[in-house]
Structure 1
Amino acid sequence: MVSTNQQSGDVQFCFHNINGSCMKTPWSLSIQTSLYGILGFITILTVGGNLLVIFSIMYFKQLHSPSNFLVVSLACADCSLGLTVLPFSTVRSVETCWYFGDRFCKFHSSLDICFCLASMFNLCFISVDRYVAITDPLLYPIRFTVSLSRVFIALSWTSAFLYSFSLLYTGANEEGLEEVVHALHCEGNCQIMFNKTWVIISSVLYFIPFLIMICLNSKIFAVAKQQARKIEQMGNQMSSDGDKVSKRERKAAVTLGVAVMAFLVFWSPYFITGMIDAFFGYKTPPLAFDIMIWFACSNSAINPLIYAFFYPWFRKAIKVVLSGKILWINCSSMNLFSE
């Protein structure tokens, strides 16, 4: 903790005239401009891309399915992160100060954790959906209904909300760290700390769903490979419509696998570093943590790009929406699977 009467030379503080202000990292104007441009682009891409996913699925009737409603829920989590969390995180990262108060810091951090957990839980339930669709296609329409997808969506959001807000607002994450928190606290800081217990619990909440997803996807790819072989062996005996459906399901499985691996790649460095930091005295530099947080949050901007790369129907829907046809023509019933 530093006081304003210690200000000298090139040392800058977040709040002048406030005792106990945090020191500010004096970035040059060019670096600040570049950072605002990069982080602003990530934020805009996150919001814009996921809004396109949400609007496309909800507008086009052909895309109204239990599986796609889960995708909408995933996109809502990512879009909400971009709308309510990333703009404030951008200012904090570039200015190296938190100007929005301690109360909003806790609320901001709770939203951050909530949306990230909701995104992960939705991805896990999408894996369950794809597993049933691939391994038991005949019973899939009966087993996985719109009502069940709504239950999965409610579970994802409720559990994420309860965990994040109850954890931070009860202060359970800082139990036993009172001295460390007090020593590091200064005006202009928004650093949420987790004790060893909650670091382990948070990591378990991350790694267990991904172990489940990896196991499910391994089974999905094995079954999809078997189905592809059977189709090749049957040759002309397979109807063209059945072949198209089978290919569509396999493509959905591949897309899901890529999305799961992307989440794993983007988020693992943050969780691994968090565990190491908690068990080795909280010595990780704030800048290193900030970089990993932004690397993890960038995953929310990647998901729409994955859909655009793998799904022809999504590319077609984007063309229709961005061309403005929906403004004067009712395109909601058009066929998006004609390719």
Structure 2
Amino acid sequence: MVEDQLLCNESAGLHGQTVTSYALNVFVVTLSLLIVCGNVLVIISVIYFKQLHTPTNFLILSLAVTDLLVGALVLPFSAILSMRSCGFSSYLLCKMRGLFDVLLCASSILNLCCISIDRYYAVCHPLTYSSKMNVHVTLAMILVSWTLSALLAISITGRGITHGNLNRRCGIFIATKESSPGPIFEFYIPAIIILTIYLKILMVAKRQARRIQNTIKSRTALSKMEKKASITLTVVLGVFLMCWTPFFLSIGLYSMGKFTIPHVAIEAFKWLGWSNSVLNPLVYAFFYKWFRRAFQMIISGKIFQADFSSTKL
């Protein structure tokens, strides 16, 4: 999933200092800054404010750390390597970039999967939620997510370094038969899990809303609850699928060899997938008023004026 190494040519090192490359640099810097700033706000909020020290927010913290590293490491290295000339040092950097790419993107998606599981127990089993989804369980889920991501990254990028690879240019994606199992474990299985869980949550939320209607005879309350649940789950699923489905679908078709898909199109889909890291803070944090209050206090510098860690948000 990480890199398709194209053959180099002698002018490759001089290529790239064009209007297109400068536009790419501006885009990468802007996207990286947005990812870093958005996720730094989430990280500081969860660590600083005691009210946010909950199992759910620890999962959001893990997701924010993952997305932060995507913006700080993967995107800048991808832009630099796409314009560097070939050589042994470039090949090593390409491998390192590929390793972090798979590790962090897989971890981001698996963290989303863990958050969906947490929301499932919160909505569908509220009476047993606190016992089933405690801090220890949450930390175990985070550890499993990072471990599986690391194993997947090593299995895909852990190939031997040979001199034959030095005449190839570092690209953004890899699409071979050897790498085909990667997207299955990295995207398709987590996507199916997330989709199934959120559909279940939506069904339970509607049933709960109908019970409220039968109890208090309030169609207004029913309408508001169903609308809020529908909008929230639609945004969660929509953003996730919109960002990652085009890339993994195009990679699958490309690997089959039955469809001709331009490399530039697949690379564009890859950048769209990376942009999910800047949207996650909006989806999983800005939906909650206590995060919005925390962000306001951080941006205004209020937390540096006194100890507000115990403030009720």
Name the TM tier (shorter chain).
Answer: 0.7 to 0.9
Counterpart of 1:206 in structure 2 is: 187
Q: Give the 3-state SS of the residue equivalent to 1:334 in structure 2.
A: coil
2: CA distance between counterparts of 1:98 and 1:120?
32
- Do the aligned partners of residues 286 and 26 (structure 1) sit closer, same or farther apart at CA in structure 2, a change above 3 Å counting? farther
TM-score by length of 2: 0.85
Cα RMSD between the aligned structures?
Answer: 3.1
1:193 matches 2:174: yes
Counterpart of 2:236 in structure 1 is: 259
Q: Give the 3-state SS of the residue equivalent to 1:310 in structure 2.
A: coil
1:41 matches 2:63: no
2: CA distance between counterparts of 1:98 and 1:138?
59
Q: What residue identity is the alignment partner of 1:313?
A: W
1: CA distance between counterparts of 2:254 and 2:59?
34
Counterpart of 1:21 in structure 2 is: none
2: CA distance between counterparts of 1:281 and 1:234?
57
1:70 matches 2:56: no
Q: Report Cα offsets for 1:135-160 as digits up to 9, x if no partner.
A: 11011111111000000000000110
Q: Give the 3-state SS of the residue equivalent to 2:309 in structure 1.
A: coil
* Higher RCO (Cα < 8 Å, 6 or more apart): 2
Return 5+ residue gaps in structure 2 as ranges. Answer: 1-6
Counterpart of 1:58 in structure 2 is: 47
Q: Report Cα offsets for 1:75-117 as digits up to 9, x if no partner.
A: 1111111111111112345x37578611121111010000011
Q: Report Cα offsets for 1:145-181 as digits up to 9, x if no partner.
A: 100000000000011011102331135xx9xxx9xx9
Tell me, yes or no, if the aligned pair for 1:60 and 1:334 is still in contact at 8 Å. yes
Tell me, yes or no, if the aligned pair for 2:45 and 2:294 is still in contact at 8 Å. yes
Counterpart of 2:201 in structure 1 is: 220
TM-score by length of 1: 0.79
Task: Give aligned pairs, total.
Answer: 301
Tell me, yes or no, if the aligned pair for 2:244 and 2:273 is still in contact at 8 Å. yes
Tell me, yes or no, if the aligned pair for 1:110 and 1:164 is still in contact at 8 Å. yes
Moved more, 260-269 or 62-71: 260-269
2: CA distance between counterparts of 1:106 and 1:115?
14
- Give the superposition deviation at 1:125: 1.1
Larger Rg belongs to? 1
Tell me, yes or no, if the aligned pair for 2:32 and 2:76 is still in contact at 8 Å. yes
Give the one of 251, 270, 274 matched to 1:293: 270
- Give the superposition deviation at 1:289: 2.6
2: CA distance between counterparts of 1:267 and 1:304?
16
Tell me, yes or no, if the aligned pair for 2:81 and 2:94 is still in contact at 8 Å. no
Return 5+ residue gaps in structure 1 as ranges. Answer: 5-11, 16-23, 237-242
